[in-house]
Structure 1
């Protein structure tokens, strides 16, 4: 009889610790400040395709990505997919995030309408985005708005070279129409 009391007491303590852990991990964060950059200078239009942008993004991830146990890749197809394989109990489980990219009036790429799966399990998007925002090492040009289930790619904050400012103009994956403007400020 005494073992039952100890078992249920330990079960209650474990449940309380897990509940507090999930509560702390998935607290919502405030909406990010997304700057509006207005620049003057000579402007050029650069058009690319999904295939070229896939190569460019994944090369950037390999060169500048955080070294560690988790690697990920980005794939532009009918949607923007971010995939990773995460080791869990000696097996790897696929984590897939899919977004519909659009461009806002400030030239930022907005990743909206996300779906997230871990193996076959569909994950709650606001909680995952909050977790990523708090615990992932993201570049300063990636802003997460978990409340509205969006990720902003602040293209103007991506430093390609001193004196060059980049903004997105179109990002239509169905038509394979991806266009940026490059403004030379010097």
Structure 2
């Protein structure tokens, strides 16, 4: 009889711990505050292609990748794809996130309408974005809005050189039309 009480007590404690872990992991995060940057100065337009931007983004990722961290790849095709492989029981399982990029009125790139798969399993987007927002080491120019299932790339916060401010103008993957403005502030 005593073992039954101990068994059910242990089962209750384990259930409580699992419920608390799930609650903590999937607790929603507030929408990010994204400021609008208005800068004045000479402005130039820079146009690029998917191939050139793929090379630039993946070079940046390789240079800033942390040792022992999760490695991933960004690919611009018909959509923006972020792919990685996570080892499960010694075998890699593909993690794929796909987004439709667009430019908002402030010159930020908005990654919207996401789909996320882990192997063949489709994942719930808000929970994954909340988890990434809380546990991933993201640059300050990447803002995640899990509630609205969006990721904002605040292009004006990307520091390429002091005195230069970037803004996205167009980001049409179907037409291979990717345009940025560069403003010299000094």
Residue in 2 that maps onto 1:34 = 34
User: Structure 1 segments of 4 or more deviating over 4 A?
Assistant: 1-9
User: Deviation per CA, 1:11-62, whole angstroms, max 9, x where unpaired?
Assistant: 4432322221011011001110101000011111100010100000000000
Residue in 2 that maps onto 1:81 = 81
User: Deviation per CA, 1:103-140, whole angstroms, max 9, x where unpaired?
Assistant: 00000000000111111111111111111111110000
Q: Which runs of 5+ in 1 are unaligned?
A: none
Question: C-alpha displacement at 1:93, in angstroms?
Answer: 1.0
The answer to whether the Cα contact below 8 Å between 1:141 and 1:157 also exists between their aligned partners in 2 is: yes
Q: Which runs of 5+ in 2 are unaligned?
A: none
Could you say what the CA RMSD is over the residues aligned between the two structures, in angstroms?
1.4
The answer to whether the Cα contact below 8 Å between 1:66 and 1:137 also exists between their aligned partners in 2 is: no
Distance 1:6 1:93 in 2: 38
Distance 2:17 2:183 in 1: 52
Question: C-alpha displacement at 1:65, in angstroms?
Answer: 2.2
The answer to whether the Cα contact below 8 Å between 1:166 and 1:181 also exists between their aligned partners in 2 is: yes
Q: TM-score, normalised by structure 1?
A: 0.95
User: Deviation per CA, 1:84-119, whole angstroms, max 9, x where unpaired?
Assistant: 111122221111111000000000000000111111
Q: TM-score, normalised by structure 2?
A: 0.95
Report the secondary structure of 1:161's partner residue: coil
Residue in 1 that maps onto 2:184 = 184
Residue in 1 that maps onto 2:67 = 67
Residue in 2 that maps onto 1:160 = 160
